[in-house]
Structure 1
């Protein structure tokens, strides 16, 4: 098998034991990152590395199993349902936090959308559903339309979100002439149609991606972007500020900058919290007020935690952006800092 560091003979058992994701990347993305001028950084997103064999962690860092309410549907936060609609992606990110699922035949994918819809109907506090996986835009437009048959009649759903990196990997998917009618259908049902893109680096934003985003925005689709802070890839405030500024210019609102998760086979992408906060501050110093729309977030088992700053007392200050317990949302808390800490569990309590 070809790795960034060279060729290596590996057995199927070795790959499985170390949770090494299958290697697949679109021709478009390979060409895009090659001509971007950032290949030496962006290659780490899709090309396997020897570091994956020595990268400890687990395969469910945010308690997805514990929050699954019917097969394929998670309900961790009151207002949001997470529907896993496929276990495939057009290309595979080496840092994926769902590598237990993607590229495999997973039993965590929703087998029965009627069952999911029945649960959602019974929970009027749920105002939005996020279609994820895998990547929902691996599915045909006709297949997504059939999923919407179950969701659009639910009166208390206010928005339908799609989480995707296909806009970076294969933007021509969004030039599909059948897509505008699908999004129009969502809008006519009185719901917001939202695409959450996944641009981690300015070098991923192609001319084709921008063209298709602008076209869909003109048809009423809203766009947000989430990025993951990745060692060797984008751990540079200049790069991320340029990425967020470009997103803003296209009408894609920077939404989350995620702290890398301690995923088995991918924890080598983690950046220490001290460095992450310096980068987050550096991004904000380079952006205008209207461009500062991202939150630096740790998607922890206990909830989405916004990482705020270091105090003069040597503690890391944080607050819950989302939590299963509504009373904890917005509450600021702190923990003593430990050098090299990359995750809440690396910080001592007290």
Structure 2
């Protein structure tokens, strides 16, 4: 059954066609505007290369044009020829293997991941869930009762992350339906929402009914958290700052995650400004993710040597209380903190999270190969 969404014309302007049907893929080629210029492509080509269709909100387009950083931020939402040349796969973190109920993953003992929707307000070109987003996916949570029973039967699980897609493209009524199944579970002590809507459509959070949603979580004795997704200071609008402030005043906790992206934010000064601004707003910088080797998006990856230089340079520009982010690789085996490239030519890493509890916190290393961007690019010995 399809889940309800905010009326799209209130929130987004669809600048290209939506998900492909089998009949769509038989249509003749048409000219599509890429960053590098117009190019005639067939729907079959788009499908074969897993090219996500172009969708961007009017708000975000105006924001990035006026930010002074358009030449960097355009790569987040505007398609590029490089998407046809980027090798990789569509499930870099083993999400299929960790799905225990359709639409619900349990990879790490304490945390459950609920995929609430396959849509976003705008489509990020580097998305690691390209296999789902913008499509009519069967990986989205449908049987909330079954998910609730699974969580109850796993008392080690203390928190659930509601993600997608972006949960805030759903109606507030649908979000309440999700809470109906989560809030009565005694072993859960927090509910998180992962969203980029504060960048793409911050006025969504001016909906007064959302205040009731977060209050309901708190009244159930659980923490309400939002993980924002600001990759660049140019994405942080006055509207986003105002609405974050309003929700923080009502007890909602905020964290931010960013992805290290070639040509977008691979600059210590940009990241330091972004994280300092988040800290000023009361949004704790949480993760700086190494971009994943996703088919159609691996051109966003930065080599690990350069990534470590950027992470170190960013920390050097931040005050002590602002140094709260971890440089993370979300790998099939777990969340890996990338620590350093030693004088011995080895990359040192630590498991921040792992399916096996005994591996959490374990430090390990591998020989570095120049140009390597991912753990699998490094020889085991």
Could you tell me which residue of structure 1 aligns to residue 112 of structure 2?
A: 81
Kindly provide the CA deviation profile for residues 115-143 of structure 1, in whole angstroms up to 9, marking residues without a partner as x: 10010010000000000010000001111
Kindly provide the CA deviation profile for residues 153-200 of structure 1, in whole angstroms up to 9, marking residues without a partner as x: 000101000000001000000110101111000000000000000000
1:311 aligns with 2:345: no
Kindly provide the CA deviation profile for residues 200-258 of structure 1, in whole angstroms up to 9, marking residues without a partner as x: 00000000000000000000000000000000000000000000000000000000000
1:116 aligns with 2:156: no
State the 1:32 CA deviation.
Answer: 0.1
Cα distance in 2 for partners of 1:258, 1:310 equals 17
Could you tell me which residue of structure 1 aligns to residue 275 of structure 2?
A: 244
State the 1:312 CA deviation.
Answer: 1.4
Kindly provide the CA deviation profile for residues 80-101 of structure 1, in whole angstroms up to 9, marking residues without a partner as x: 0000010000000000000000
Matches of residues 27-42 of structure 1 in structure 2 within 5 Å? 27-42=58-73
SS in 1 for 2:107: coil
Could you tell me which residue of structure 2 aligns to residue 161 of structure 1?
A: 192
SS in 2 for 1:137: helix
Cα distance in 2 for partners of 1:312, 1:51 equals 34
Cα distance in 1 for partners of 2:162, 2:128 equals 16
In the superposition, the TM-score normalised over structure 1's length comes to: 1.00
SS in 2 for 1:268: helix
Could you tell me which residue of structure 1 aligns to residue 372 of structure 2?
A: 341
Could you tell me which residue of structure 2 aligns to residue 253 of structure 1?
A: 284
Matches of residues 206-285 of structure 1 in structure 2 within 5 Å? 206-285=237-316
Cα distance in 2 for partners of 1:245, 1:341 equals 29
Partner residue of 1:288 out of 305, 319, 322: 319
Partner residue of 2:87 out of 53, 56, 74: 56
Could you tell me which residue of structure 2 aligns to residue 19 of structure 1?
A: 50
SS in 2 for 1:75: strand
Kindly provide the CA deviation profile for residues 90-113 of structure 1, in whole angstroms up to 9, marking residues without a partner as x: 000000000000000000001110
Could you tell me which residue of structure 1 aligns to residue 7 of structure 2?
A: none
Cα distance in 2 for partners of 1:346, 1:182 equals 44
1:297 aligns with 2:351: no
Kindly provide the CA deviation profile for residues 22-76 of structure 1, in whole angstroms up to 9, marking residues without a partner as x: 1000000000000000000000000000000000000000000000001000000
SS in 2 for 1:154: coil
Cα distance in 2 for partners of 1:210, 1:247 equals 9
Cα distance in 2 for partners of 1:175, 1:346 equals 45
Could you tell me which residue of structure 1 aligns to residue 206 of structure 2?
A: 175
Mind listing any 5+ residue stretches in structure 2 that lack a counterpart?
1-31
State the 1:311 CA deviation.
Answer: 1.0
Matches of residues 100-139 of structure 1 in structure 2 within 5 Å? 100-139=131-170
Residue correspondences, number? 350
Cα distance in 2 for partners of 1:83, 1:182 equals 17
Taking only aligned residues, the RMSD between alpha carbons, in angstroms, comes to 0.4
SS in 2 for 1:74: strand
Mind listing any 5+ residue stretches in structure 1 that lack a counterpart?
none
